[in-house]
Amino acid sequence: MEKRGILGKENLDDLKRACDSIDKTLVRKIEEYESSRERRAPVEIQDVEEISDLQATFGDFTEEKAQDNTYKMNSKPRGYCLIFNNFDFQQARKERLEHQTLKDRKGTDVDAEALEKTFKELHFETVVFRDGTAKQIYKELNTFQQKSHEDRDCFVCCFLSHGDRGIIYGTDGQEVAIRDMTSLFTSSNCPSLAGKPKVFFIQACQGKAIQRGITLYTDSEQQRKLLEIDSWVPRECIPNEADFLLGMATVDDFISYRHITEGTWYIQSLCKNLKERCPRGEHILDILTEVNSEVSQKMDLSNKGKQMPQPRYTLTKKLFFPIK
């Protein structure tokens, strides 16, 4: 403020206004300084020193406020990152008539590898589960619910699967409710994660409708043929308590896209932006906004289909994933 010419021994109004919105005691200190200046002859060096003291006090206070507004994220590992990667749906096609058209999820391994690499770089302990039935998924989640997370600052869980409204499918075609999975990690069900961020990324459709868009550019016919669809949509998927973030691949009632060799639009954009933006000190909601922007610009030209991801959250602080 001093360098910009808005703070000096004769001009403390801006500093008082800033302090007034933060802590009244800082305003009183400034007023005491002004009163003491009026009672004595100017002493330039002393004035400068007292202004510096006020700046230091104000700086220390704002730094403490910033820390209070940010989730702690310095444990190593930061926490567990679970990745449920469902590719083979042969059992679902065999055992359930309604799932005869449920394809194997080509390209999902590319997503799983990207997530594992990204979260390892962000200092998470990654655990990958492949081709889990509904029962197996619940079993693994219960295992990590019962673990102690006392020495960890966060919990991340990623699902790559088919699904429908409010659920994902196990490879046996049985439903796993998103709300049931997230609720396992509430503060009452998993006390060692109380007050800590619980982050879930869900790659699957949220219905069968196609979002329509206007064609702004062209793509090759080969690229169109390589696109497939994941199926699903959430009901109320996030618990009614603080510190949850649910990153959805698409909004309610619509499909999401998966490239059979390059992975899904959403997960690939998510990993790319985490890698680029976490080192810059950007917080997760800003990063997910950029993911929204990138994915929304893509198009399935064969259907003029679009995709818009959607974050849902009850976070109470800013969430950063530092790389150091």
205 catalytic per annotation:
yes
Check 205, 237, 271, 278 and give the catalytic one: 205
C-beta contacts of 34-42 below 8 A and 24+ residues apart:
37/9, 42/9
At a CB cut-off of 8 Å and minimum separation 6, what does 274 contact? 118, 122, 287, 321
Which among 43, 64, 42, 45 is positioned nearest to 53, based on CA atoms?
A: 45
162 catalytic per annotation:
yes
Three-state secondary structure call for residue 314? coil
State how beta strands 198-203 and 244-248 pair.
parallel
Check 162, 190, 237, 278 and give the catalytic one: 162
What does the alpha-carbon distance between residue 170 and residue 176 come to, in Å, rounded to a whole number? 7
| Residues paired with residue 258 on neighbouring β-strands, in sequence order | 228, 264
C-beta contacts of 261-264 below 8 A and 24+ residues apart:
261/106, 261/107, 261/110, 261/226, 262/107, 262/110, 262/226, 263/107, 263/108, 263/110, 263/111, 263/114, 264/107, 264/108, 264/111, 264/160, 264/203, 264/230
φ, ψ (nearest 5 deg) of residue 163: 180, -165
Three-state secondary structure call for residue 271? helix
Catalytic residues: 162, 205
